[in-house]
Amino acid sequence: MSLSRTATTFPPPVMEARRWLDGVTHPADRPLLNVSQAAPVDPPPAAMREAMAEIVIDDPAAHLYGPVLGLPELRAEVAKQWTASYGGDVTADQVAITSGCNQAFAASIATLCGEGDEVIIPVPYYFNHRMWLDMSGVKTVALTTGEGMIPDADDAAKLITPRTRAIALVSPNNPCGVEYPAATLHAFFELARAHGIALIVDETYRDFDSRSGAPHDLFTDPAWDDTLIQLYSFSKAYRLTGHRVGAVIASEARLAEIEKFLDTVTICPNQLGQRAALWGMQNLTQWLAGEREEILDRRAAIHDHFHLLADKGWKLLGCGAYFAYVQHPFDMSSADLAPLLVKEAGVLLLPGTMFMPEDVPGGERQLRIAFANIDSSGVAMLFDRLASLSL
């Protein structure tokens, strides 16, 4: 008997980490610092919630099925803003709205791969990408990253086989935080095109990129859609995690395939969420710029305070978007250290082992800190607690 699809992969890491909290009490003078999850903890800004309330009351279509590939106005708005910000040509027909960016990845892989095909992903990876590949019967081919946590297209070239269907990148990266240079993305694009495979770029954290201007030039290629599949999430930018809205930007032909997947799985994306996302894109540009500044301040706080940990043998491997990715100095695996930190330091974070296949070394020395929800004083408190550990 063959394994069921879900039996081919591991349980959701964030849920597993939450279980480490069971039965642990945190003293009043040392409350839990939860840096495990890459998600805003606050709801969308009040003005957006008011707009959503009006939509709920006044717009009957917000409660009904809608087009499988999404609200036409939202697709058009994404196309317009993408064309302006990436300096290339993106049309509404090349944009589909999905029920979150995870679904955009799942749908894209479903259009690209059959059983036994291969997808190259840099490690450490975003674990849901790995899980979906497992559940699709697709082999994850690990592309190791060296110093700086930036993958190299020449290394990826050596991993391409006749079964390779895509290379999937995340920039700014989860879990490492690093922003892939435009030249790196360009080299991956050329590599993928030369081999007739797809380049998937998940830009969930694009709104928090520290660089000004377009992070890459891929959309300026007039034929970008023969190779590029870009993924986006409205979850982080507008704090809409619970409403499940994401996007996939790809060729019309691919979106016609994606339509089969979406029609079967969710029929249409959440109607209220889509309208909220549209409202956000049209009204929250200034607000979002402020959110980005706040995240960049927190990132600066990681750098400013890291000496507290560096003095104790820790190393900062990557930092940006919502994440710092660090190397710990202890003689134990991060898989054992992370649950211990809940009890010993009142800190919940995820071990590097959750972002790596078992046969790739390195993860046992690494930890991911999702710092988006702690301010500068929280960062100082976190590092103080970690620095005073004696294990």
Nearer to ligand PLP, 39 or 310 (CB): 39
**Which of 74, 5, 66 shows the shortest CA–CA distance to 268?**
66
| Cα–Cα distance, 164 to 274 (Å, whole number) | 34
Binding residues with ligand PLP: total (CB under 6 A): 13
Only one of the segments 100-108, 115-123, 179-187, 251-259 lies at the binding site for ligand PLP (rule: CB under 6 A); that segment is 100-108
Taking the least distance from each CB to ligand PLP, the nearer of 308 and 349 is 349
For 337-374, b/e burial (b = at least 16 CB within 10 A) is bbbebbeebbbbbbbbbbbbeeeeebbbbbbbbbbbbb
Pair 96, 259: CB distance under 8 Å: yes
Contact between 323 and ligand PLP per CB under 6 A: no
45 in contact with ligand PLP (CB under 6 A): no
Whole-number Cα distances in Å, 33 to 37, 65, 380:
11, 41, 11
**Smallest distance, Å, CB 100 to ligand PLP?**
3
Site for ligand PLP in 237-296 (CB under 6 A): 241, 246
**Dist CA 350 CA 335 (whole Å):** 8
Residue 202 interacts with ligand PLP (CB under 6 A)?
yes
Q: Is 188 in the site for ligand PLP (CB under 6 A)?
A: no
Q: Does residue 171 bind ligand PLP (CB under 6 A)?
A: no
Instruction: Report, in Å, the least distance between residue 51 CB and ligand PLP.
Output: 20
Q: Collect contacts of 289-292 with beta carbons under 8 A, ≥24 apart.
A: 291/207, 291/208, 291/237, 292/207, 292/208
Tell whether residue 164 is a contact of ligand PLP (CB under 6 A). no
The correct pick among 33, 38, 74, 255 for binding ligand PLP (CB under 6 A) is 38
Structure tokens that stand for 283 in this block: 């009204």
Residues whose CB is less than 8 angstroms from the CB of residue 115 and which lie 6 or more positions away in sequence, other chains included: 137, 138
170 touching ligand PLP, by CB under 6 A:
yes
| Of 45, 66, 70, 100, the one binding ligand PLP by CB under 6 A | 100
- Establish if 34 lies at the interface with ligand PLP (CB under 6 A): no
Chain contacts with ligand PLP (rule: CB under 6 A): 38, 100-102, 126, 170, 174, 202, 204, 233, 235, 241, 246
